[in-house]
Chains A and B, each alone.
Chain A
């Protein structure tokens, strides 16, 4: 019976062949199993009984049997024998995740399955079960406590959410450390999912942060901030609540982080003067860790700004704090302190612009739910993709902690605040239709060079600003520098325009079905993939395209992994790569037109470089679901520098002969460039690493001057192998942001293209 039961379960037979006989046999087992004195016989009988219960739940065809099972389980939860209790709880939690049970659970309180009969006399029994389950949380046995916790989590719904969360909060105080983290995570999810009243949610979640202390992971408090920022009515309430907590003396890091952030953003909404808020926060300043301190510094700057009748004493106090950390060893702290000092010493207007309130967050899948899923075992391939996308999202989630960057956007743009950051391709369209300034842009952009000289700085900043919210962390420098500093992503800005010019009207074509937008910046992905061989090419709520590439000489193979993230099937899937002169692109097998949910297909693209080419090929792809459609044009990161092979330099003299052999343009091109702030800070080693990532092989100590770097590589093309590529980077002793780049190859197109690629990456 036992083995038969597990066999049936594993084969998933839904009561076909032995259909008639099964329920009877099961019924008999359920009814006639009784407790016997002999312990071992007991075990055997109960083993069969539990197997039968599991089978009934799996088959789920006979309602009567199911209700019998449920009654039995209810009895088992309060049996003295701990084994039976444990198994009762475990099976009950299994019961609650049956798909048919879910609406039943939602409709009725506590015990799942009872609603089948929905007899009014069942209700007191249901209540009793809830109490018993909660009582099991206090059991001496850790295994039973764990099971009870699982069951509580799975049986929560709108009605009993309030009771259960308060019980769980009480339990948290006495819980063992091993389950605390999981407990806090699940409670956070519960509170959010079943929050009928947002104020209640704020209460519960802040209480959770207070009690759980160190076990509150970063994701939880990011989520809190997200939820609170998105609902305006909570701002003042949460600020005052958090202030109360501080008054009562909660001093753990996550609480202080949340408190500092909320008071900084919304502190002006509560009647308590900012000086008092500052004083209270500052008491715990010295004991906090690095990231918390940074958040607190930002909060102080915001508070100072909010103090509208200008209080010189307050300003002096805050400045004193800033000055103390002026020479702190941590670069982030130092940067923040210096900038805030500068900002707060200037007139009001500048401050107000920079430190304006954060815009609302776009709707994203809760990272908490994803974190819980991550904890359960998954297949490796799917999880690799998911982890990558999680990292992409998680890095965006870092925003509340580190960024004052998005806040810059507000004064620079006439378009503000941004509710949902538009994708890279549509803002240029808006600008073009809206403002005449942007309309002048198109003729300026040359089709080859992805890098814009700083001449069109104004529109670049506008475009950057629009693109910024969707690519927050990828922008390496968190510095809220003045507008004159090198714009973080000119590449992205112009490329966005380029897509519009070069390709079919992407955003405009989506008429009735909603156009699906990528969840992060396509330009950033492209950028990263130029330097690495593997990564994410594109992602939107339905589809993710990962890319793996390998290059050998003049040939390369790029594999695209298209994964369907959505529960719906993607149909009319089309993929097309436009060929370009100099690069042969061939897709061996075109994928089918549909992609089932959670399925991943591979598309292999073989490329061969016949001659130096300037532009990377474009990938046109599109798909549609029932409600949405997507059509995108992406640049494939198959750029000229991927076909470079490192050249070992043995003879220095021969090398310099070659160098001198090529006199100047068009084969040898030179340019002075201002590198991005991140590279300036990191210095020569970072530049060297960047060049190596671009496959230009930096040869150490070839150049007598230690401040210079020389790279040597060969460009492999099908027609002409061994085109030597030499790049020399000279750094300026006086200005660490300035470098002179000299590129020398045997082909004109190659020289200009490689120079542009290098300059782009240096400035990014």
Chain B
């Protein structure tokens, strides 16, 4: 299962953090620091998988953001990369040519979408169309509520 998902910018700022197992606040900050240190220092040609204590760390760099995912030892790494890419494509479709700024200003929507894709550390929905549909419906609800 997936233990955590972290989106980290090139400067080391955390744009999104989702934890699927119980980590205390101290452990979280420690993990973030370690992941940031390990991932940001890697060159471009190196492989995307790292040993990280009990978990495997799989990361992929999209423009200025690093998508880091911590998984169990027995999980398939390439499949996780596929999952990350799946998530990125959904974001892209929703925001239309997504960039880091979109995620900074609409982080709440990014979290909604992530919760639709991953549940309890496992991939929940593989259809991009279905997720897009659900999220747009939710947006419509929000609009209606605002307008009264």
Contact = CB atoms under 8 A, between A and B. Distances in A.
B141 interface: no
A46 B80 CA distance: 12
Contacts of B49: 83, 86-87, 143
Nearest to B43: A140
Given A40-B85, A377-B54, A141 B78 contact: no
A144 B78 contact: no
B46 A47 contact: no
B59 to A, nearest CB: 11
A87 B78 contact: yes
B102 interface: no
B79 A143 contact: no
Interface string A6-48: 1000000000000000000000000000000000100110110
Interface in A36-95: 40, 43-44, 46-47, 50-51, 82-83, 85-87
Interface in A382-434: none
Contacts of A140: 43, 45-46
B127 interface: no
B47 interface: yes
B77 interface: yes
A146 interface: yes
Interface in B37-89: 43, 45-51, 54, 74, 76-79, 81-82, 85
A273 to B, nearest CB: 52
Given A47-B76, A50-B76, A143-B51, A82 B46 contact: yes
B47 A50 contact: no
Contacts of A51: 76, 79
B47 A44 contact: no
A143 B50 contact: yes
A140 B43 CA distance: 9
Contacts of B76: 2, 6, 47, 50-51
Nearest to B86: A40
Contacts of B51: 143, 146
A140 B45 CA distance: 9
A143 B50 CA distance: 6
Given A144-B47, A377-B54, A50 B78 contact: yes
A141 B79 contact: no
Given A140-B43, A377-B54, A83 B48 contact: yes
A43 B81 contact: yes
Most chain A CB inside 10 Å of its own CB: which residue of B50, B76, B78: B78
Contacts of B48: 82-83
Contacts of A85: 47
Contact of B46 (A46, A141, A146): A141
Contacts of A47: 76-79, 81-82
A83 B82 CA distance: 13
Interface in B90-134: none
Nearest to B47: A82
Contacts of A146: 51
Nearest to B46: A141
B70 to A, nearest CB: 15
A146 B81 CA distance: 21
Contacts of B79: 2, 47, 51
The 10 A-B residue pairs with the shortest CB-CB distance, nearest first, are A47-B78, A82-B47, A141-B46, A47-B79, A86-B47, A83-B47, A43-B78, A43-B81, A44-B82, A46-B78
Interface of B: 43, 45-51, 54, 74, 76-79, 81-82, 85
Interface of A: 2, 6, 40, 43-44, 46-47, 50-51, 82-83, 85-87, 140-141, 143-144, 146, 377
12 contacts: A6-B74, A43-B78, A43-B82, A47-B81, A51-B79, A82-B48, A83-B47, A83-B78, A141-B46, A143-B46, A143-B49, A144-B47
